[in-house]
Structures are given as C-alpha cells and as structure tokens.
C-alpha cells in the first residue's frame, strides 16, 4: 500500500492521541508524508478522544476518507465520532477483546469490514508493563507488525517521550510495544496490507501544525505585539508567540477578555507596531466593534479566526467553515475587511505573511479564516523557503509630508502616509467617529461619502491579485469545482481522481475570499455549464457569497455539510460523475436577482 489511513479512538487517558503523535514523528523521520488530525469531546476533562493518521509515499492534501485501519479501545467512544472515523468494506478493524463483542457482531450497522481482530490489548499491557496505561504502546506494536510501520523509529520516539518518566516506565512500554509486535507476528494479515517504503529524498521536512506556522509567520512578518485571550482551537497561537516573541523585541498581552485583547492590538498598531490578535467564532463576535475602529482609523491589524462549530459556544473541538458571513458582514456601516484563508498547514505560513503585508499596505484590518483541522492537525511538510517571501511595511510620511501633516489625505490610491506617536510633526487624531482629512470629527454627508470611497476603493487592487487564486485542471472544462480552507485539499484530490477517469474538470481555490474578485470568477465560469462549491457549512456560505457578486452558471450547485460531518474525496467524485451524465441548461442567472440568490 502506498497510502494508508488509520483511525483510533478511546477514552481520555488511553493515550490515543499520544500514539498518533508518536507514529507521525517516526514516519516523518523515515521519509513518509503524513497528516494527523485530532478530535476530542467538548468536556474540560476526560471524555472521548480520537485521531486519524494518513501516511503516504507522496504528498497528501487531506486526511482521507474511509479508514483502512480502525482501532477501537472502547466501542462507545469510537461510535461517538460517527462520520469522522468511517469504516467501510475494506477496513481492518482492531478492537479491545475485553469489550466482549464477537468479530461478526461489531456495532457498525450494515457495514461489514474486511477483517475484524479482537485483541487483548489491556491484558497485554498489564502483563508486560504492569499498567493499562501502556495500551497505546501495545497498539503501536500491533500497527507496526501488521502494516509495516517503522519499528525502530516508533521505539525511538517512545524512548524520547518517556525518558523523563524513569527507567521502569520506559522499559515497561518497550515490553508492551514488543508484545504488540509478537501478537501481530503470530496472526499475520498478509503482505497486501503492508505499507510501501518511502521514496528517497534529500529535502528537509518538518512536523508541525497550523497554529505554530501562523505564529512563526507572524514573527517572520515583523509582528511585535499580540493581544489575545485563550479560546479553543486558537490558543496555541498565543502560546507559541509567548515562547518566542520576546526574542524579537515583542510582547504578548493576555487581556481580560476578547474585547480588551483586540483593543490593545489596535493601540499597538496606532503606536507603529505590527500587531495581531487570534480567536475563534465566539471571540470574533466580541471583536467586531473594535475591528470597525481599526477600519475607520485605517490602522493595520491581523485578526486570525480559527473557526470551530457554532453558533455560540457550539462545538469547540470540531472543524467548521461557518464564520465566513460573520467575517465579511458583521461590521456595521460600509466597511470591507479583506479575508484570507489557508488551505493547509504549510499554506498557513504564506497566508499569514500575506495578511500582514495587506494590512500594512492598505492600512486595514485583515481577517485570516483558519479552522480547527488546519490549526491543530500535525502535518509532514517541506521546510519553509523564507527567501521567496517579501515583507512589506506601512507607508510613512516624508519630512515634507510632516509639514502640516494630513493623516487621512485623499489620494489617488486611497492610501495616505501613516505616522506614529513620537514622530515629530506627525500628531493626529484617530477616533471611531467619522472624520475629515485631518482626523477632525465631521457630520458632513459629502465628506462621509468621500471617506467611504477612500476606505473601500483602496482595496480594489486586491481583486486583481491572481496569485491569490489557485486554478488547476482543464482550462476549457464545462464542469467546475470551487472550494476553500481545509476542504480545498479534498476537492483537489477529487479533481485529480476525476481527471484520471477521463473527465474534464477544473478547480478554483481562492486564498482571497473577500472582497469578491468578480473578474477572476467570471473568467473561470466562462467555459462552464455546471459548477459545484464544496465547503463545510450548513448554508454553503461561500456559494451564497459568490452568487451575491457574480453572474454564475445556471447549474451552480452546493455541496455543503455541517461541521463534524466530513466530506470525503469520494463524495465529490460521485457528484462530478453525476454532473458529467446530467443534461444542463445554458441560461445565466442575473447577479442582482436577490430573491433567487439569497
């Protein structure tokens, strides 16, 4: 096998996620590509936990679909994850014998897996290590033995992880690992289940997650102030910055709440610093008023929203893409904030740097819409080539411009030089109230209109940035796909599968989500008779957003699912096949027909 998807679930304390992290570390050192996603119940302590690991000999863009291997230490906990750990007819199911379930009576409904293996996992752990807490080491031994995973690499990882716990614990887990290997050797599955060796490579790879990449990109872009408040699944951004930002002369401030943290970031931006805040959906709701202040005061700011299931507290530990409307439309008044979205862990670095560049160039708050999967999944990626990035700084006034300084001067580009406290002659008033060119409050309708033009029109060049859009596939295809965020990797794999079957399809993945780049979408739509927008939100929010701005193909459909209901590449391929067989109309819908579009 050159592509293997393993899903594991158990109770809190079973070490399921630790086992997954040990595996991805060992696989990365061997030269494999891999993605590890983690999922938990929403309890503060305890509850169920799971992980799924996709390992392959070539780069992969998503965690995969139906499991090749399912490990259940507890059936109640495994079944709580539903579609996140889908079992199919080709799946090998490994489960705790102590559950008392017969191999031909698994609680999987009508699904009959290829192989069912009841293993005395807890018994092996107690016999070899003296504690059931070594169950995860037994599981690692079983997986290494049955599927050809790197034994020495896994064992080396265990030794690093457990070295601080003392020789007794370490040696017990080594024996538990060996017991898993021996059990697998005694009951072989066959060579067809073994993972192919990795391809030789000289490139350097790292194992990291989206939140760490976001934090490191912020430092690279010159961020020296972070104001934040802990919230799942964005907290690690603050934790990573707290560890490193002081090395760059920067500061992390944990505010007393979400509002205080973004207000402090806006204050730091006013003081001339590159500033960032990070949150999730509930925090974005609280930050919207201060985002409006940054818009009207034309202050650079990056706000990262690591989306999770909503509304309200929703599902803190599950992925969703349902904050798009909140990011685009929650501002009162006529305000446009650029929205960028990464598609994976590696992409998060580039998108975060771009967010700072846009914020600084256009003197505007920028929202980065990450999500729980990208933020917290571990991924084996190529080391980042820093030489390909340019870092931009805000436009500051010249000495001549500081003579009678006019902060909000109306310019052809809409961008006016920005000073900071301490710059001689650069004093100005920055307030949330509408102002004239000097920053003085105004109630003039004419000036308000001109300032609206200034703030909105200066962002128009963004819509011509073709480098913020990825297009792959057949240029003249009549079937199109659009996807964004973490789901884009699923659409990309589906596109490649469909094209391998001889179907002509193309895919558009926007990094710039808002403002909508009408012309780029029009060009993409020109050859299409049908188009499918794939996203993880109940309403299909990007699908609706595009329809508000662009004249779309008549057969402009949505494949949208609520969070914690994963979309698999096979789901998208099935829709493409159906579209290829379907006769279509060729008329176009008018973009201003709001009764139809909304």
The enclosing domain of 494 has a CATH number of 3.40.50.920
Q: Is residue 21 part of a domain?
A: yes
Burial string for 195-234 (b: 16+ CB within 10 Å, else e) reads beebeeeeeebebbbbbbbbbbbbbbbbbbbbbbbebbbb
Tell me the mean pLDDT in the region 360-366. Answer: 98
Q: Are residues 35 and 167 in the same domain?
A: yes
In a domain, 523, yes or no: yes
Domain boundary among the residues 345, 373, 388 is at: 388
Q: Which of 166, 193, 220 is a domain's end point? A: 193
Does residue 198 fall inside a structural domain?
Answer: no
* Same-domain status, 338 and 484: no
On whether residue 147 sits in a domain, the answer given is yes
pLDDT tens profile 382-420: 999 999 999 999 999 999 999 999 999 999 999 999 999
Q: Looking at the structure, do residues 257 and 157 belong to the same domain, yes or no?
A: no
- Mind listing the pLDDT tens digit for each residue in 246-273? 999 999 999 999 999 999 999 999 999 9
CATH number of the domain enclosing 118: 3.40.920.10
At residue 98's C-alpha, the angle toward residues 92 and 103, to 5°, is: 35
411 shares its domain with 444? yes
Last residue of a domain, one of 412, 429, 458: 458
Confidence tier at 46 by pLDDT (50, 70, 90): low
Residues 136 and 227 in one domain: no
In this structure, the answer to whether residues 289 and 265 fall within a common structural domain is yes
Residue 522 lies in a domain: yes
On whether residue 79 sits in a domain, the answer given is yes
Phi–psi pair at 116, nearest 5 degrees: -125, 125
304: nearest Cα among 287, 329, 325, 322: 287
- The yes-or-no verdict on residue 275 having pLDDT over 80 is yes
Region 442-462: mean pLDDT is 97
Task: Give how many domains the chain has, as a whole number.
Answer: 4
Same domain, 405 and 318: no
pLDDT of 309-342, one tens digit each? 999 999 999 999 999 999 999 989 999 999 999 9
How far is residue 168 from each of residues 121, 134, 136, 179, 181, measured CA to CA in Å?
Answer: 20, 12, 17, 16, 20
pLDDT band at 584 (very low <50, low <70, confident <90, very high): low
d(CA 188, CA 514): 54
Average pLDDT over residues 493-514: 98
Percent of the chain with pLDDT strictly greater than 90: 89
pLDDT of residue 45: 65
Q: What is the per-residue pLDDT for 585?
A: 60
Domain holding 302: CATH number? 3.40.50.970
The answer to whether position 342 is within a domain reads yes
Assess whether 66 and 90 both reside in one domain. yes
Is 199 among the domain residues? no
Residues 326 and 434 in one domain: no
Are 379 and 435 members of one domain?
A: no
For residue 357, what are the domain limits?
207-388
Long-range contacts formed by 238-244: CB under 8 A, 24+ apart: 238/278, 240/211, 240/212, 240/215, 240/216, 241/215, 244/215, 244/216, 244/219
Is the domain of 446 the same as that of 479? no
Asked if residue 242 has pLDDT above 80, the reply is yes
Q: 85 and 128 share a domain?
A: yes
């Amino acid at each position: 096998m050159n592509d293997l998807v393993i899903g594991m679930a158990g109770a809190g304390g079973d070490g399921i996620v630790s086992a997954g992290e040990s595996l991805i570390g060992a696989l990365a050192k061997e030269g494999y590509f891999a993605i590890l996603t983690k999922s938990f119940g929403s309890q503060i302590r305890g509850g169920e936990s799971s992980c799924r690991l996709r390992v392959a000999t070539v780069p992969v863009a998503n965690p995969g679909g139906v499991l090749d291997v399912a490990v259940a230490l507890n059936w109640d906990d495994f079944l709580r994850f539903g579609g996140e750990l889908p079992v199919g007819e080709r799946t090998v199911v490994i489960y705790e014998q102590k559950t008392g379930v017969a191999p031909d009576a698994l609680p999987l409904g009508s699904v009959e897996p290829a192989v069912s293996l009841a293993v005395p996992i807890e018994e092996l752990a107690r016999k070899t290590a003296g504690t059931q807490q070594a169950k995860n080491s037994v599981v690692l031994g079983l997986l290494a033995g049955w599927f050809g995973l790197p034994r020495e690499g896994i064992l080396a990882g265990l030794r690093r992880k457990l070295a601080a716990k003392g020789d007794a614990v370490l040696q017990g887990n080594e024996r538990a690992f060996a017991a898993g290997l021996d059990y697998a050797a005694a009951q072989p599955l066959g060579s067809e289940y073994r993972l192919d060796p990795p391809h030789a490579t000289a490139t350097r790879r790292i194992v990291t997650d989206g939140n760490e990449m976001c934090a490191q990109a912020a430092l690279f872009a010159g961020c020296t102030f972070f104001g934040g408040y802990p919230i799942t699944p964005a907290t690690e951004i603050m934790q990573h910055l707290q560890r490193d930002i002081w090395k760059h002369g920067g500061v992390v401030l944990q505010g007393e709440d979400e509002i205080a943290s973004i207000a402090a970031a806006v204050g730091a931006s006013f003081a001339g610093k590159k500033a960032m805040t990070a949150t999730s959906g509930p925090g974005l709701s609280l930050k919207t008023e201060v985002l409006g202040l940054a818009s009207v005061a034309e202050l650079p700011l990056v706000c990262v929203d690591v989306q999770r299931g909503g509304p309200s507290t929703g599902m803190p530990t599950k992925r969703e893409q349902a904050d798009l409307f909140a990011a685009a439309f929650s501002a009162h008044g006529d305000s446009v904030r650029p929205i960028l979205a990464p598609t994976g862990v590696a992409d998060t670095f580039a998108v975060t740097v771009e967010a700072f560049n846009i914020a600084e160039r256009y003197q505007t708050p920028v929202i980065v819409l990450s999500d729980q999967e990208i933020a917290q999944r571990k991924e084996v990626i190529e080391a980042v080539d820093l030489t390909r990035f340019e870092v931009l700084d805000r436009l500051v006034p010249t000495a001549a411009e500081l003579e009678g300084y006019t902060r909000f001067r109306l310019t052809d580009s809409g961008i006016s030089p920005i000073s900071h406290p301490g710059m001689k002659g650069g004093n100005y008033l920055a307030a949330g109230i509408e102002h004239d060119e000097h920053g003085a409050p105004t109630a003039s309708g004419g000036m308000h209109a001109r300032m609206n033009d200034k703030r909105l029109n200066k962002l128009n060049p963004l819509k011509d940035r073709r480098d913020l859009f990825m297009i792959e596939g057949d240029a003249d295809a009549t079937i199109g796909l659009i996807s964004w965020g973490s789901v884009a990797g699923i659409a990309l794999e589906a596109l490649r599968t469909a094209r391998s079957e001889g179907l002509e399809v193309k895919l558009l993945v926007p990094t710039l989500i808002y403002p909508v780049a009408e012309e780029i979408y029009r060009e993409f739509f020109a050859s299409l008779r049908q188009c499918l927008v794939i996203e993880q939100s109940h309403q299909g929010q990007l699908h609706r957003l595009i329809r508000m701005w662009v004249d779309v193909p008549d057969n402009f459909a949505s494949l949208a699912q609520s969070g914690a209901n994963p979309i698999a590449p096979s789901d998208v391929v099935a829709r493409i096949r159906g579209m290829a067989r379907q006769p279509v109309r060729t008329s176009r819908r008018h973009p201003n027909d709001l009764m139809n579009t909304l």
